[in-house]
Structure 1
Amino acid sequence: MKLSIAIFSLVVGMGSAQAADIKVIDADAKFPEGPFVENGILYFAQYGAGEIDKWDGKALTQLWSQKDSGANSVQRFGDGFIIAGYDIGTIILTDAAGKTKLTIDKDDEGNKLLGPNDIALDKHGGAYVSLSGPWETDPIVGKVVHVAADGTIKVVAKDIHYANGLVVSADGKTLYVNESEANRLIQFSIGDDGSLSDRKLFLRLYTLGEPPEAYPDGVKLGPDGNLYIGEYSAGRILVVDPATKKLVKKIDVPSAAAPNLAFSADGKTMYVTAVDDKSGAPYPGKVYAITNF
């Protein structure tokens, strides 16, 4: 067990001229990523450590680990969890205690999974998982796969320029996907069978006042109904109204990158996974708890 660290508060300016209260809950995270919150417990991946951890408000404990797995995201899946193993090209299903039950390393077309990255639950007990492809400008081979409740996998979208964070809309009809190397967010219509169609551009980050090279990473639906987009290119969360595609505000954290985030059940706390040093493994970073955002 990793004992809870000393918690301190910072005040960080925001694009809306508001101030946010920021507390560090893990000062020694190694490229934290892909979080979610359930029953007051924060679950998150540590890509640089190859593990999944949980924070109960007092202490950090390990749920799952596999050396060199590049664990990049975690979500509840049935009675257990679903984990994206980026470096080992594997989607892992576990039991409630975090013990591996099933590993998936190929899609329904027989191809290896290249860079399982982020996870978004559907409304039917399944999940969408982004397969990023190589972290470079070409080739463009990113995919989105759907994993059904029974572990059946199916490719539902192809040719995405580094598929990254993804989230299902509140009504369950739209899937938003960060196309990171194209510096934009795209959207799909979700069919009754989980299929995706009607691919469209949602927005490019430069239209929100970000530089052309701004790199969208994770994306989550906030308690206010807005989309919260984490940036790997900056320690910043962009808040966007999905109806108007307009910027609502920017939330900055004191780190070099803010790749992903999650919200408490009451919507009053936003947890941000952040990286301080992007120069090389294990990519030291922090996990923040932000209120008054």
Structure 2
Amino acid sequence: MEVAGDLNYANGIGVSPDQKTLYVSETVGNCMLKFKINDDGSLGNRSNFALLNLLVRNKVESWWLGPDSMKVDSKGNIYVAQWFGGKILKISPDGKLLRVFEIAAGDGTTNVAFGEGEKELYVTVVKNPKDAQAKGSIVKIANVK
């Protein structure tokens, strides 16, 4: 059953701790959307949650530059990998940029996962996302709270 359409290269997805908001990253649109989750499970009130190019400057220009995977912590903060940006952005539930984690291992940050007690973040990254043969790695970031 489709609950939302007309998405621009939808990629990451996350749900708020209270289960009332669904977040979706649109990589090509360089945008994060939010939807209200209705009591019956349907989605309503689609809106732009965060336009990443307004939150942080980037070292590359590409129409592929945008949010990739994300995780939502127990306080509702969103940690989003920025493909072609080499960053993880920590965004508050009201769309404000709280912190930027620069990833020195490469520009192709793709996925994030929490470690112990949401104090650590594991990130998959590709050194050069323009290189189809590029090797990837996993980076651990401590003290993300």
TM range (shorter): 0.7 to 0.9
**1:234 & 1:227 partners in 2: Cα distance?**
17
The secondary structure found in structure 2 opposite 1:266 is helix
2:25–2:68: 8 Å Cα contact kept in structure 1? Answer: yes
Deviation of 1:287 after TM superposition, in Å, equals: 0.9
The secondary structure found in structure 2 opposite 1:157 is coil
For the pair 1:172 / 2:19, whether they are aligned, the reply is yes
For the pair 1:251 / 2:98, whether they are aligned, the reply is no
Amino acid at match of 1:156: V
The secondary structure found in structure 2 opposite 1:228 is strand
For the pair 1:229 / 2:80, whether they are aligned, the reply is yes
For the pair 1:209 / 2:56, whether they are aligned, the reply is yes
**Bigger Rg, which one:** 1
The secondary structure found in structure 1 opposite 2:53 is helix
Query: Partner of 1:218 in structure 2?
Result: 69
Amino acid at match of 1:286: S
The secondary structure found in structure 1 opposite 2:117 is coil
**2:43 & 2:22 partners in 1: Cα distance?**
8
Amino acid at match of 2:85: A
Q: Percent identity?
A: 37
Amino acid at match of 1:209: V
CA deviations 1:15-45 (Å, max 9, x no partner) are xxxxxxxxxxxxxxxxxxxxxxxxxxxxxxx
**1:222 & 1:287 partners in 2: Cα distance?**
20
Q: Which has the higher contact order (CA 8 A, sep 6+)?
A: 1
Amino acid at match of 2:139: Y
**If each structure's strand is expressed as a fraction of its own residues, which one has the higher value?**
1
What does 1:239-278 correspond to in 2, within 5 Å? 239-243=90-94, 245-254=95-104, 255-278=106-129
User: How many positions carry a matched residue from both structures?
Assistant: 139
TM-score (norm 2): 0.86
